[in-house]
A and B are shown apart, each in its own frame.
Chain A
């Protein structure tokens, strides 16, 4: 639906604007490169978002069970005025190791930008928890994953579904892991006639169900005995017994990006507003068993002016769309069915 809307919208875009109809993903934003690396031994992996140029960042960390690194520098009162990359990874807190590989890759001078010898790469990271999926929980993304994902990063449309940080992601776990469905990674973008672009990438591993906010219907989530979707909103309202929620199985991670220029405080407001996209597309969201975290990146490549509220509102919109795409593009792994398989 959202993709269709974006295409319809872009039909009206003047020819001078590069329409993201050929790239409705995060890399539609100038200055953003994305690379995945998916492990072969178990469904897990990492996704690296590289920042080409001076990219200002903010964060909204609202889930109760986060695994993060270098989010404190993004506080407006703290010093870092740019980031070099953002890492999203599977593997629980072990997956934070991925950022080491990205730092090494940047430090070796492979990036699309020139580093001075004394520069320290700023690489915030957040992890999701997929250790239970597909056996062998000792298999998790390590520094090598980050190094390879950074090396694979490009401006091409971002691959979606069961890949990178979304490889082991699942959703709909409120009635037990045996009733879960496959999550994944999804992306969406919007381009306005004036040249403003706002895009999102989401790795969706939520405890809750995924809802399409445009219709209020469940796209993927907890299943009944016959395999149909139960709708946890109804279950919650009737007081039906739920599985005890556990920390070790959830978390939705996202990056929203814009080509607008934002201050660090504005980037944090955009991250906060974008977080509404998680609230709209995931029910329940921000639980004690989710480490939900949203990063916002502003590349400043577009010289036009846009209001922070407009960018934040569009960021929430594209983030919700990216979450819906994550489950629609996912494919079944390890016996956990994807939305496309239950229709």
Chain B
């Protein structure tokens, strides 16, 4: 495993050097968040229950932002990301299952970063800056006392690499489900997904999203439901139709949902523009999840700008691409998931 990880990391390093010369090929070899140089991702999935955490490590500095639009958030260090506030560098972002308990995962990531002398200079010490957001998966697959702890955040940080990010029922997406607008027993399994866009100019925008929405997952390119509320016969019901018909539905509860993600670019952005990037990226939630931003969703998306690319791109382009890759990542979170605990995934419906 250790040797394999080193090999994958070496391979990814080669990929990155190829990327500098020939952007398009690099995108094909790594269509995930780690297509952005300087970004590493590690998952840790618990074996006792389908839950886990995902750590996004920044190798070097990145400016961060956040858009928090859902009505039931669980977050840490989001106030720090307000452009009015001082600290403008982020060392890692933690996405975790386990409801508010899962915020503890960030504690482990902070410990790992401190051991590696990474953090905001504060006198003699360095304070790791680790914003985090959690999703609510306590009802999935057995003992709700099992949730990601500091150990999860430490192990995921230690496992982080520049390799293409594994997707589906893993890390923060291990216990994630969607399509809960029709009540219990009609939901579907989703997970964590990732996508990237590399332009000929060298601009890269990429996203990772753990999708645990109340709503259905929609492919914005076609308007079709990918995963969501099921009819009694197991076919997709389409939450949009249920709503318009005033049909049976369940009031979303704040203990079951939330979509959390990170969108990253190699462009250089001010803290204000990083916040705008996160806000525009949030449109990807609106397009790929219906309904989105409910009172029962803690929808949150972080942005990271590494500034390693010295080209110029308008924030409108970066923000628009951010929304596109976020929507792509959400669709992949549904298509790459595998069923767990009797909850079927999109790939099971296709059989």
Please say whether chains A and B are actual partners in one complex.
yes
CB within 8 A of B286: which of A5, A233, A237, A280? A280
CB distance from B312 to the nearest CB of A (A): 11
- Tell whether A310 pairs with B249 under 8 Å between CB atoms, given A237-B324, A272-B293: yes
Total residues of chain B contacting the partner, CB 8 A = 48
**Which of A71-79, A130-138, A187-195 interfaces with chain B?**
A187-195
Q: Which of A286-338 contact B (CB under 8 A)?
A: 286-289, 307-310, 312-314, 316-317
How far is A217 from B197 in the complex, measured between Cα atoms in Å? 21
Q: Is the CB of B223 within 8 A of A309?
A: no
**Which residues from B are CB-within-8-Å of A277?**
286
Q: Is the CB of B279 within 8 A of A242?
A: no
Q: Mark B68-87, 1 if CB is under 8 A from A, else 0.
A: 01010000000000000000
CB within 8 A of A310: which of B201, B243, B317, B320? B243
A276 touches B (CB below 8 Å) = yes
Closest to B325 in A: A237
Total residues of chain A contacting the partner, CB 8 A = 52
A214 touches B (CB below 8 Å) = yes
Q: Is the CB of B197 within 8 A of A237?
A: yes
Closest to A289 in B: B316
Q: Which of B210-261 contact A (CB under 8 A)?
A: 214-215, 218-223, 239-240, 243-246, 249, 251-252
A216 touches B (CB below 8 Å) = yes
**Which residues from A are CB-within-8-Å of B220?**
211, 213, 216, 280
Closest to B69 in A: A272
CB within 8 A of A237: which of B285, B291, B319, B321? B321
**Which residues from A are CB-within-8-Å of B201?**
239
CB within 8 A of B292: which of A192, A196, A211, A276? A276
CB within 8 A of B290: which of A196, A307, A313? A313
CB within 8 A of A245: which of B218, B219, B283, B314? B314
B13 touches A (CB below 8 Å) = no
How far is A261 from B268 in the complex, measured between Cα atoms in Å? 46
How far is A289 from B314 in the complex, measured between Cα atoms in Å? 11
B267 touches A (CB below 8 Å) = no
CB distance from A241 to the nearest CB of B (A): 10
CB distance from B97 to the nearest CB of A (A): 22
How far is A275 from B282 in the complex, measured between Cα atoms in Å? 11
- Tell whether A316 pairs with B316 under 8 Å between CB atoms, given A233-B324, A308-B295, A309-B296: no
**Which residues from B are CB-within-8-Å of A56?**
none
A183 touches B (CB below 8 Å) = no
Q: Mark A211-241, 1 if CB is under 8 A from B, else 0.
A: 1111110000000000000001100111100
Q: Which of A266-291 contact B (CB under 8 A)?
A: 269, 272-273, 275-277, 279-280, 283-289
How far is A317 from B243 in the complex, measured between Cα atoms in Å? 10
How far is A275 from B197 in the complex, measured between Cα atoms in Å? 25
**Which residues from A are CB-within-8-Å of B244?**
5-6, 9, 190, 192, 314, 317
Q: Is the CB of B319 within 8 A of A313?
A: no
CB within 8 A of A287: which of B246, B280, B296, B321? B280
Question: Which of A211, A233, A242, A286 has most B Cβ within 10 Å?
Answer: A286
- Tell whether A196 pairs with B291 under 8 Å between CB atoms, given A64-B276, A239-B200: no
Q: Is the CB of A284 within 8 A of B280?
A: yes
Q: Is the CB of B319 within 8 A of A287?
A: yes
- Tell whether A213 pairs with B287 under 8 Å between CB atoms, given A239-B200, A284-B323, A314-B244: yes
Q: Is the CB of B316 within 8 A of A288?
A: yes
A62 touches B (CB below 8 Å) = yes
CB within 8 A of B316: which of A211, A238, A284, A308? A284
**Which residues from A are CB-within-8-Å of B315?**
287-288
**Which residues from B are CB-within-8-Å of A9?**
244-245
**Which residues from A are CB-within-8-Å of B291?**
273, 276, 309, 312-313, 316
Question: Which of B245, B251, B292 has most A Cβ within 10 Å?
Answer: B292
CB within 8 A of A242: which of B200, B280, B314, B319? B314
Q: Is the CB of B314 within 8 A of A244?
A: yes
CB distance from B270 to the nearest CB of A (A): 12
Q: Which of B287-309 contact A (CB under 8 A)?
A: 287, 290-296
A29 touches B (CB below 8 Å) = no
CB distance from B252 to the nearest CB of A (A): 5
Closest to A276 in B: B286
Q: Is the CB of B223 within 8 A of A215?
A: yes
**Which residues from A are CB-within-8-Å of B69?**
272
CB distance from A178 to the nearest CB of B (A): 19
B129 touches A (CB below 8 Å) = no
How far is A286 from B221 in the complex, measured between Cα atoms in Å? 19
CB distance from A4 to the nearest CB of B (A): 12
- Tell whether A309 pairs with B276 under 8 Å between CB atoms, given A236-B317, A286-B283: no
Q: Is the CB of A312 within 8 A of B294?
A: yes
* Interchain residue pairs A-B with the least CB separation, the first 6: A313-B291, A239-B199, A284-B320, A279-B286, A192-B246, A276-B286
Can you identify 14 A-B contacts, CB atoms within 8 angstroms? A207-B316, A213-B223, A236-B317, A237-B321, A239-B199, A272-B69, A273-B294, A276-B293, A277-B286, A279-B283, A284-B319, A285-B323, A286-B283, A288-B319
Given contacts A215-B222, A276-B293, 8 further A-B contacts (CB under 8 A): A5-B244, A216-B223, A276-B285, A287-B280, A307-B251, A309-B251, A312-B294, A313-B291
Interface on A for B, CB 8 Å cutoff? 5-6, 9, 62, 64, 174, 190, 192-194, 196, 207-208, 211-216, 232-233, 236-239, 242, 244-245, 269, 272-273, 275-277, 279-280, 283-289, 307-310, 312-314, 316-317
